[in-house]
Structure 1
Amino acid sequence: MLGQTPLTNFQTRDVESLLHPYTPIHKLKTIGAVVMERGEGIYVYDTQGRGYIEGMSGLWCAGLGFGDEEMIEAATAQMRALPFYHIFGAKSSEPAVELAEKLKEIAPVPISKVFFTSSGSEANDTQVKLAWYMNNALGRPNKKKIISRIKAYHGVTVMAASLTGLPGNHNGWDLPVDRVLHTDCPHYYRFGTEGESEADFVARTAKSLRDLIEREGPDTIAAMIAEPVMGAGGVIVPPKGYFEAIQAVLDEHDIILIADEVITGFGRTGNWWGSQTLNMKPKTISAAKQLTAAYAPLGAVMVPEDIYQSYVDHSATLGSFAHGFTYGGHPLSCALGVKAIEIYQKRDILGHVRTLMPLFEQRLKKLADHPLVGETRFCGLVGGAELVADKKTKRSFDPKQGVGPEASRLIEQNGAILRAIGDTIAICPPMIITEAELNELFDRFEKGLDQAEAWVSKEGLRTT
């Protein structure tokens, strides 16, 4: 069903030259590709001159929108001063040092050192290597398994994709690899049983985690990694008390909690970190995306002093800390990270997000009444609307019908770019969006959903 009407700005050159990620590439010559040419504020414009509200902040990342002059000036100044240098072999650059200090200042838990990567995937991949390195240093060579969750998303490198709990990231890729375990997804709407309260659901997921740990042996498990809000799994917000219950089980078995803040960091949930919003107490943290407001690639791993000291001890034994990326700590990216945090602070982006949150919640709750929508979910300025064939029974559409992707395409035709995650339509606008712009975004969202509902009814998709 996807892309029944080809896009009018079909770009043959683009189709022939690029291997597009997360795209049904077997259909690309039919559906075409939209080529973006410029951006301004919350809008992006394609090569045909059409404007769209970028309702996903690109890929959950362009928190300051497009064309911010302060960011452009910071990039230009850094390019003139030092366009590249590395941080291998005890070298460094002022932007890398300054950004590490800023991250320590705003971290939700005590942090001693920051390791820079080029992406969130590399950050989460590094988290696993560091957990292994730490346990080798501590004389625990068998404590190496990592727990993730069903529907989690942690990236696309071999290890990060293994941590990811989505079949599409495993099928055809020979994943997941060994040492990765998956526990329950904390989605009460989908996985709660009839008559079960949210509190009972939380207790059941905590017991399931405990059973997994005891079955595998706590002396074989190094860490659990979790997103405060599960993004690419469908914007899943855990029930109240979930992380407190999970944390108690992990602490009891000496298993560290890694917070994947790649999507939820830097104000997205109404606090600096999703960990603060969801009452997580992680030992280490992964960050990326809004770290630079997406103006350059950068990821980071943040670790406390006690864990860092285990690295020091093992480096003394082995002769070196042999891990790193050519562009980790790139001076351009770090300068933009410094400037982004400065802008978040001086423009009170957190306060702006909090001001918008009631309207965001109101408009999403209104969408829950739409005949296509089974549930809406939200936290701060990130949300999702799950489309269902039957609201009463929560019956999903057959994935082959492509209802979510078709709804996303129709929304795009109305001038708003959102993202279909299966049959959940995700929304994650730039944090600079105004109330009027946010209302316009939801108006376009609703128009697209109305058209999708008409299409579903015409095709008889609820009965097939």
Structure 2
Amino acid sequence: MTGLATQPVVYSFTDHRVHRQDPPLIIAEGDGIRVRDVNGTEYIDALSGLWHANLGFSEPDLIAAATAAYAELPAYACALGRTSAETVLLAEELLQAAGGEFGSVYFGASGSEAVESVLKFLWLAGNTGGTPARKLIVTRDSGFHGTTLGAATLAGIPRQHDGFDLPLPFAVRVPRVHFYRDHLDGESEDEYVARIVRTTRERIVAAGPENVAAMVAEPVMAAGGVLVPPDGYWPAMAKLLVELDIPLVSDEVVCGFGRLGHLFGYQRFGLEPAAVTVAKGITAGYAPLGAVLLGADLTAAIAAAADTHGVLGHGSTFGGHPVAAAVARANLRIIRERKLYARVAELEALLKTSLEELLNLPVVGEVRCVGGLAAVELMADGVARRPFDPERGIGRRVAAEARAAGLIVRDLGDVIALCPPLITSATDVVEIVSKLRAAIEAAVTEEAR
């Protein structure tokens, strides 16, 4: 079956030059947190596929929910004033689980579509609500919000713009939050937070707060390096946004559905967003689904827009698909009945303790962990915060060594990201960290030759 690797697939987030010599990994089956390729080689997938397989790769209750839904209503759309019962029930359950903070749910089929949709809803609200100048979106360096035109414009990762005539001119870019890399010598966390919040304020004021529709931000930046904010960051940012009358859209495509130990990541940080975008973990990756939870203001704005525009000219064929909705409902039941949040708290403690043992390696500058998200930052000199030459590709080498040892991680430059399924056991964590340590040591030994 190795001939499968030559099939004409365009792989996202992939350097296709590499695969001219190194064929892609073709996965055939999964069991728990492990997957096997077409040659029978087994791997621990410590990235949950692409940050999304929160319950691993063989959860029987999700498979049963999908099977039953296919037998009952295998296809329908949420459009033209019609939808499936599963879609309506999912919307009701999401709103109830969110604690009554939101008024309605829009369904798409992916995280990119969710972010793209909320941008359009924000602009629609401004156009019909008497503030048509509000078109700008505040977004952060190193942020990731999807790959469609609007969502990719918000990205603070240059490779998402290169060659695509992006970004479009509606983003107000403000600093990322990465204390380890970006703090000045002698600067405390509180001083660092005050400085970047001050810079954020200056850039928004320069653009004109009256021209800003919202800030879109991940509670914890995932693809930007698993950047965990200092304790004072989100309270200070929330205060600033209230002062400038700018709503927050919490992008929970990675952080939602238990990944940070809460239903949504914004709850961990005490935020009050005007809208929330979700995907990935909403179905634990078992079916494509995205959604936007809309607060009272945006819910009312969409309803009011009908008086001006009539038909809402936005939607998608597969948004709110009945099978995906059934899987998402089963996922919510699992989260609730198996007390997944408590399990994530245990996983966080295990990951943090185990990964911190890597700090005795001279090339490990920092370990970050929050919920079931973690990162190991590789540096030529961790104490002096001196990075490796990017051309050396140390992170890429570590990921390759890990894969050769049966461990899948993601290299984000010289940051090794981990996002293991939330069912990962203590024994699994020990094995993951052991394999990662060996991979780092092997890559550094090769670099020294």
Is 1:195 the equivalent of 2:204? no
Which 4+ residue blocks in structure 1 deviate beyond 6 angstroms?
Answer: none
**What are the within-5 Å matches in structure 2 for residues 149-160 of structure 1?**
149-160=140-151
* Deviation for aligned residue 1:38: 0.2
Is 1:227 the equivalent of 2:218? yes
Is 1:436 the equivalent of 2:401? no
Paired letter, 1:387: L
How far apart in 2 are the matches of 1:266 and 1:27?
34
How far apart in 2 are the matches of 1:186 and 1:356?
24
Q: 1:280 to 1:219 in 2, by over 3 A?
A: same
How far apart in 2 are the matches of 1:304 and 1:281?
10
Conservation of the 8 A alpha-carbon contact between 1:162 and 1:170: yes
Aligned length: 449
How far apart in 2 are the matches of 1:135 and 1:126?
14
Is 1:17 the equivalent of 2:4? no
2:360 aligns to what SS in structure 1? Answer: coil
2:181 aligns to what SS in structure 1? Answer: helix
RMSD between aligned residues: 1.2
1:368 aligns to what SS in structure 2? Answer: helix
* Deviation for aligned residue 1:12: 4.7
**What are the within-5 Å matches in structure 2 for residues 326-341 of structure 1?**
326-341=317-332
2:21 aligns to what SS in structure 1? Answer: helix
How far apart in 2 are the matches of 1:438 and 1:323?
44
Is 1:239 the equivalent of 2:219? no
**What are the within-5 Å matches in structure 2 for residues 385-424 of structure 1?**
385-424=376-415
Task: Name the residue aligned to 1:270.
Answer: 261
Conservation of the 8 A alpha-carbon contact between 1:15 and 1:29: no
Task: Name the residue aligned to 1:142.
Answer: 133
Is 1:60 the equivalent of 2:67? no
How far apart in 1 are the matches of 2:61 and 2:264?
23
Identity over aligned residues, as a percent? 37
* Deviation for aligned residue 1:16: 4.1
How far apart in 1 are the matches of 2:164 and 2:127?
29
Paired letter, 1:235: V
1:425 aligns to what SS in structure 2? Answer: strand
Paired letter, 2:17: H
* Deviation for aligned residue 1:108: 5.8
Deviation readout 1:69-124 (Å, 9 max, x if unpaired):
11111111100110010111110111111111111112166011000011001111
Paired letter, 2:38: T
User: Which one of the candidate residues 244, 251, 270 is aligned to 1:260?
Assistant: 251
Paired letter, 1:186: V
2:167 aligns to what SS in structure 1? Answer: coil
Task: Name the residue aligned to 1:325.
Answer: 316
Task: Name the residue aligned to 1:285.
Answer: 276
Task: Name the residue aligned to 1:44.
Answer: 35
Paired letter, 2:184: T
1:325 aligns to what SS in structure 2? Answer: coil
Task: Name the residue aligned to 1:113.
Answer: 104
1:302 aligns to what SS in structure 2? Answer: strand
Using the size of structure 1 for normalisation, the TM-score is 0.95
* Deviation for aligned residue 1:378: 1.0
* Deviation for aligned residue 1:197: 0.9
Deviation readout 1:269-306 (Å, 9 max, x if unpaired):
11222111122221110011110000001011001223
How far apart in 1 are the matches of 2:77 and 2:20?
41
Conservation of the 8 A alpha-carbon contact between 1:109 and 1:282: no
Task: Name the residue aligned to 2:165.
Answer: 174
* Deviation for aligned residue 1:368: 2.1
* Deviation for aligned residue 1:235: 0.2
Deviation readout 1:190-222 (Å, 9 max, x if unpaired):
111111111111111111111111111111111
Conservation of the 8 A alpha-carbon contact between 1:108 and 1:273: no
Task: Name the residue aligned to 1:123.
Answer: 114
Paired letter, 1:215: A
2:17 aligns to what SS in structure 1? Answer: helix
Paired letter, 1:89: L
Structure 2 unaligned segments of length 5 or more: list them. Answer: none
How far apart in 1 are the matches of 2:26 and 2:361?
32
**34-43 vs 201-210, which moves further:** 201-210
User: Which one of the candidate residues 11, 16, 22 is aligned to 1:31?
Assistant: 22
How far apart in 2 are the matches of 1:241 and 1:297?
35
2:440 aligns to what SS in structure 1? Answer: helix
Paired letter, 2:373: V
Deviation readout 1:318-366 (Å, 9 max, x if unpaired):
1111111110010011000000111111111111111222111101211
Structure 1 unaligned segments of length 5 or more: list them. Answer: 1-8, 459-464
How far apart in 1 are the matches of 2:316 and 2:213?
24
How far apart in 2 are the matches of 1:220 and 1:60?
34
Paired letter, 2:394: V
Conservation of the 8 A alpha-carbon contact between 1:368 and 1:374: yes
Using the size of structure 2 for normalisation, the TM-score is 0.98
1:301 aligns to what SS in structure 2? Answer: strand
Deviation readout 1:28-79 (Å, 9 max, x if unpaired):
1201111110001110000111110110011111011011111111111100
2:36 aligns to what SS in structure 1? Answer: strand
How far apart in 2 are the matches of 1:257 and 1:387?
32
* Deviation for aligned residue 1:26: 1.8
Task: Name the residue aligned to 2:370.
Answer: 379
* Deviation for aligned residue 1:15: 3.2
